[in-house]
Chain A
Amino acid sequence: MTRRVLILFAHPVLERSRVNRKLLDAVRGLPDVTIHDLYEVYPTLGIDVAREQALLLDHDAIVFQHPFYWYSAPAILKEWQDLVLEHGWAYGAGGDKLRGKLTLNAVSTGGPEQAYRSDGYNRFSIRELLAPWDQTAHLCGMRFLAPFVVHAALKVAGTDELAAPRLAYRHVIEALRDDRLDVDRAMTATTLNAELAAVLTRVAQR
């Protein structure tokens, strides 16, 4: 089985991005993977709800790729949620259009991994901070997978340092697409990259 993967990408100034641009390049052009650059399509936040819903229906896995601004996403993704996830369509009575789909966040953070701990200056883990996304997915009947995280994005200097995350991201997206991902494991992991080998093993063993 092949899953069609939709990457909903949000970065207000991609020309200044160091990590996200490289990550995006790593998955660009993959078959059955659609990249949807929200800020480029809706620079005035005038989101076309019908078009977005059609895109969602056309895909089986939804990846939100964005920098982790203020422990969440850039503004356009909030607007996207508010408009696209309609009652009666995505949730509530008759709202079953997204049921069964997989979803995850692929984020870059400024702080290092150890900052996202109870004793770090950010106090919460990425998974904890993603609770609203988790619950949103839950309400829509979607399966919320652990996030893909690139930490300390500000300190990333050259392409070399990004080689590993780029490859990992590509593996995750391909595994998602080719059903080579242990979904149960992926749902409970802290981050996908931390447990990459374990998450990807299931099908590999088969």
Chain B
Amino acid sequence: MTDTVLFQAFVYLTAAVLFVPVAKRAGLGAVLGYLIAGVIIGPWALGLVGQEGHSVMHFAEFGVVMMLFLVGLELRPALLWQMRRPILGLGGAQVVVCAALITGAALALGVAWKPAIAVGLIFSMSSTAIVLSTLAERGLLKTQGGQASFSVLLFQDIAVIPILAVFPLLAMAAPELVSTSSGDGEAAWVTGLKLLGAVGGVVIAGRFVVRPVFQFLAAVKLRESFTAAALLLVVGIALLMQQVGLSPALGTFVAGVVLADSEYRHELEADIEPFKGLLLGLFFISIGATIDLDLIVAEPLQIAGIVLGSMAIKLLALRALGRVFGLDRPSRWTLAFALAQVGEFAFVLLSFGVQSRIFSHEFAGPLVASVAISMVLSPLLFIALERWVLPRVAERAVERAQDEIAHADTPVVFAGYGRFGQMVGRMLRANRIPVTILDLDPEMVDVLGRLGVKAYYGDASRVDLLHAAGCAHAKLFVLAVDDKAEATKIAHAVRTHFPHLTILARCRDRPHYFELRALGIRHVYRETFGSAYETGIEALRQLGYRANTAHRLARKWRDHEERELEQLAGVWNTDRSAYFAGVRRAMDEAERLMREEDPVVYTERDAAWDNESLRADTRVDAAAAPVPPAEPS
């Protein structure tokens, strides 16, 4: 029974359903959950799946192919072109440097030079599957570090092709014994031509064949045939690439980029996404299941040495390269921690190395185990990165030297010039009011500089900096930083050292409002109030209220809201129980007010332009009675 496909599917799906949510809840991430699930159902624990794990892995590798197709879909050609420097420069440097260092280490351990080079090349590769999944899961994919990691992975995908071509040359035995589809024995230019031809074919087909086909299918409106076509596209390209000996992942990536501009992008994404997710999960499980625990138990020190040694070398090399290529500190660490593991390409390359007789099966065994372990470790590295490394380097980043302020002498000083501050600042500058800007975000300061706005990098809670910014002579201090604690700190400093300055403060929420009011700041503005207010007015208008009425109702509500907030501010700091009583009263009051502002009731209460009483008057005696002269409609 254990051999049936259904039973296998049952085991894999159960493992995924049981372990992944648990791992995710525990903060370990889905990838690690899959890997652990694999180990548990594998031959060395429960033994629910046996040696066929390898073939499952081979099948599941298709998830990686699909993932790169999806990554390609997200990446328009123009965007890819923008990334050419990190891809070729950083990616190329990574492969060369890591391969050289690991080769050197292998040589130092007494490995012959040919297998040493092979191992160096193999171990320079990282895991596209694990890194991209984890980066996406942790929301790091769009960061500078994430983008750099992606660039390197893309280069590695390309680099597999020449590596496969080089391997036969490293063989200890005669290369003609080896027969694979990788183009060995061919001249380099033939391989190059094939590569260009295949990629060119995918680009042209993507432009001129795939679009009309999808157009037709979309017109027919058969959902499943569209899905089938999307899968066919990915499978077909993968097959074509395998035929010419290229990486299927690279081929589908190119196809994805070609289709990134097409109108079917989102549909393709939606169709492929679930397949990718399941297959990737299967892939991770099968990696977990193929870990040879016997070997690890037999040779713990050797394998630990290989894993830690190779990962340490890669980590340090990547960090240094990140610095050379101008990444900021957090990005350097992200890149280094993300790509330190050895990737799934290593499984393919190691077995190819054995086939090519570069090294023996016995030599490859511990290496395969080390690769698997390094892949299991990499989600843990991500956790370490997020918990301990990034918070520290992020704080360090603040230590950029504070800018020298020449001699600021403007009537207005800004602390924080992001989304909020900029709007206020632009309004002032439009009226030719000069402002001095302090911001704690070095990127923002640089961007402003490029826009021709002079901003100074620095911590606005420091009194010397406030002096330099001209606070002694300024009239107004606009406090618009978005960090609550930072804002309060700055407000305190300004109130203490420059009591004459009027502060206009942005606040995040009610507690922050009270905090700033307690510091004696009279003008505190809730940052989302303005836009919510406008939205409320427009909502009333859309519901059929006249513009003028909607505005009057909104103003009335706002006045009430502000009065309540002021009253609560009075008790916030002194008497917490009075505060909560106040909030309860305010809520009741607001509810009552809302009921009264029901249009029917409201019209009877609001005395503006009211003529009901007049109407009553005129009914009594039209001509003779001296009617109050507010005249009616």
Using a CB–CB distance below 8 Å, which chain A residues touch chain B? Answer: 11-21, 39-41, 43-44, 67-71, 74, 108-112, 114-115, 120-122, 152-155
Given B546, B611, B618, B619, which contacts A39 in the complex, CB threshold below 8 Å? B546
Assess the B622–A40 pair: CB atoms within 8 A: no
B622 partner residues in chain A, CB cutoff 8 A: 112, 152, 155
A41 to nearest B CB, angstroms?
A: 7
Assess the B627–A16 pair: CB atoms within 8 A: no
Report the bound CA distance from A12 to B625 in whole Å: 26
Given A16, A70, A111, A121, which contacts B633 in the complex, CB threshold below 8 Å? A16
B164 to nearest A CB, angstroms?
A: 70
Known contacts A39-B546, A43-B551, A44-B551; A154/B614 CB under 8 A: yes
Does any Cβ of A come within 8 Å of B626's Cβ? yes
Known contacts A39-B546, A40-B546, A112-B622; A153/B551 CB under 8 A: no
Known contacts A108-B633, A109-B631; A15/B549 CB under 8 A: yes
A13 to nearest B CB, angstroms?
A: 5
Residue of B nearest to A107 (CB): B631
Assess the A15–B546 pair: CB atoms within 8 A: yes
Report the bound CA distance from A68 to B611 in whole Å: 13
Report the bound CA distance from A153 to B609 in whole Å: 14
Report the bound CA distance from A67 to B549 in whole Å: 17
Shortest Cβ-Cβ A-B pairs, 7 listed? A43-B547, A17-B633, A110-B632, A39-B548, A43-B551, A43-B548, A110-B631
Does any Cβ of A come within 8 Å of B274's Cβ? no
A19 partner residues in chain B, CB cutoff 8 A: 633
A67 partner residues in chain B, CB cutoff 8 A: 631-633
Known contacts A11-B633, A69-B631, A110-B627; A154/B547 CB under 8 A: no
Report the bound CA distance from A67 to B630 in whole Å: 10
Does any Cβ of A come within 8 Å of B532's Cβ? no
B549 partner residues in chain A, CB cutoff 8 A: 13, 15
A-B contact pairs, 10 of them (CB 8 A): A15-B545, A15-B549, A40-B548, A43-B546, A68-B631, A69-B609, A108-B633, A109-B631, A120-B623, A153-B633
A108 partner residues in chain B, CB cutoff 8 A: 631-633
Assess the B627–A111 pair: CB atoms within 8 A: yes
Does any Cβ of A come within 8 Å of B608's Cβ? yes
Question: Of residues 615 to 629 in B, which have CB atoms within 8 Å of A's CB atoms?
Answer: 615, 618-619, 622-627, 629
A112 to nearest B CB, angstroms?
A: 6
Report the bound CA distance from A120 to B546 in whole Å: 36
Given A17, A115, A153, which contacts B623 in the complex, CB threshold below 8 Å? A115
Report the bound CA distance from A15 to B546 in whole Å: 7
A21 partner residues in chain B, CB cutoff 8 A: 633
Report the bound CA distance from A152 to B621 in whole Å: 12
Given B547, B611, B630, which contacts A70 in the complex, CB threshold below 8 Å? B630
Does any Cβ of A come within 8 Å of B550's Cβ? yes
Question: Of residues 537 to 557 in B, which have CB atoms within 8 Å of A's CB atoms?
Answer: 545-551
Number of A-B contacts (CB under 8 A): 86
Using a CB–CB distance below 8 Å, which chain B residues touch chain A? Answer: 545-551, 603, 608-609, 611, 614-615, 618-619, 622-627, 629-633
A122 partner residues in chain B, CB cutoff 8 A: 629
Assess the B632–A154 pair: CB atoms within 8 A: yes
B623 partner residues in chain A, CB cutoff 8 A: 112, 114-115, 120
Residue of A nearest to B628 (CB): A110
Assess the A121–B627 pair: CB atoms within 8 A: yes
Assess the B629–A71 pair: CB atoms within 8 A: yes
B49 to nearest A CB, angstroms?
A: 70
Assess the A16–B618 pair: CB atoms within 8 A: no
Given B609, B618, B619, B626, which contacts A12 in the complex, CB threshold below 8 Å? B609
Known contacts A68-B631, A71-B629, A153-B632; A110/B608 CB under 8 A: no
Report the bound CA distance from A194 to B369 in whole Å: 105
Report the bound CA distance from A16 to B619 in whole Å: 18
Assess the A12–B631 pair: CB atoms within 8 A: no
Report the bound CA distance from A120 to B632 in whole Å: 18
Assess the B608–A13 pair: CB atoms within 8 A: yes
Report the bound CA distance from A112 to B621 in whole Å: 11
Residue of B603, B609, B625, B632 contacting most chain A CB atoms (<10 Å): B632
Assess the B611–A110 pair: CB atoms within 8 A: yes
Report the bound CA distance from A110 to B614 in whole Å: 8
Assess the B608–A12 pair: CB atoms within 8 A: yes
Report the bound CA distance from A160 to B627 in whole Å: 25
Report the bound CA distance from A115 to B548 in whole Å: 31
Report the bound CA distance from A11 to B615 in whole Å: 18
Report the bound CA distance from A114 to B608 in whole Å: 27
Residue of A nearest to B626 (CB): A121
A69 partner residues in chain B, CB cutoff 8 A: 609, 630-631
Given A14, A40, A155, which contacts B618 in the complex, CB threshold below 8 Å? A155
Report the bound CA distance from A122 to B629 in whole Å: 9
A187 to nearest B CB, angstroms?
A: 25
A146 to nearest B CB, angstroms?
A: 19
A111 to nearest B CB, angstroms?
A: 6
B533 to nearest A CB, angstroms?
A: 12
Given B608, B615, B629, which contacts A154 in the complex, CB threshold below 8 Å? B615
Report the bound CA distance from A19 to B633 in whole Å: 6
Residue of B619, B625, B626, B631 contacting most chain A CB atoms (<10 Å): B631
A151 to nearest B CB, angstroms?
A: 10
Report the bound CA distance from A41 to B546 in whole Å: 10
Assess the A18–B633 pair: CB atoms within 8 A: yes
B628 to nearest A CB, angstroms?
A: 9
A26 to nearest B CB, angstroms?
A: 15
Assess the A13–B618 pair: CB atoms within 8 A: no
B95 to nearest A CB, angstroms?
A: 62
Report the bound CA distance from A85 to B322 in whole Å: 66
- Extra pairs beyond A14-B546, A40-B548, A43-B550 (7, CB < 8 Å): A12-B609, A15-B546, A17-B633, A67-B633, A70-B631, A122-B629, A152-B622
Report the bound CA distance from A13 to B618 in whole Å: 21
B551 partner residues in chain A, CB cutoff 8 A: 43-44
B546 partner residues in chain A, CB cutoff 8 A: 13-15, 39-40, 43
Report the bound CA distance from A67 to B631 in whole Å: 7
Residue of B nearest to A71 (CB): B629
Report the bound CA distance from A120 to B626 in whole Å: 9
Residue of B nearest to A14 (CB): B546
A13 partner residues in chain B, CB cutoff 8 A: 546, 548-549, 608-609, 633
Assess the A16–B609 pair: CB atoms within 8 A: yes
A15 partner residues in chain B, CB cutoff 8 A: 545-546, 549, 603
A14 to nearest B CB, angstroms?
A: 6
Report the bound CA distance from A13 to B604 in whole Å: 13
A14 partner residues in chain B, CB cutoff 8 A: 546
B547 partner residues in chain A, CB cutoff 8 A: 39-41, 43
B600 to nearest A CB, angstroms?
A: 11
Report the bound CA distance from A62 to B579 in whole Å: 57
Residue of A nearest to B544 (CB): A15
B615 partner residues in chain A, CB cutoff 8 A: 154
Report the bound CA distance from A12 to B609 in whole Å: 8
B532 to nearest A CB, angstroms?
A: 17
B535 to nearest A CB, angstroms?
A: 15
Known contacts A115-B623, A154-B614; A16/B631 CB under 8 A: no
B74 to nearest A CB, angstroms?
A: 44
Residue of B nearest to A150 (CB): B633
B624 partner residues in chain A, CB cutoff 8 A: 121
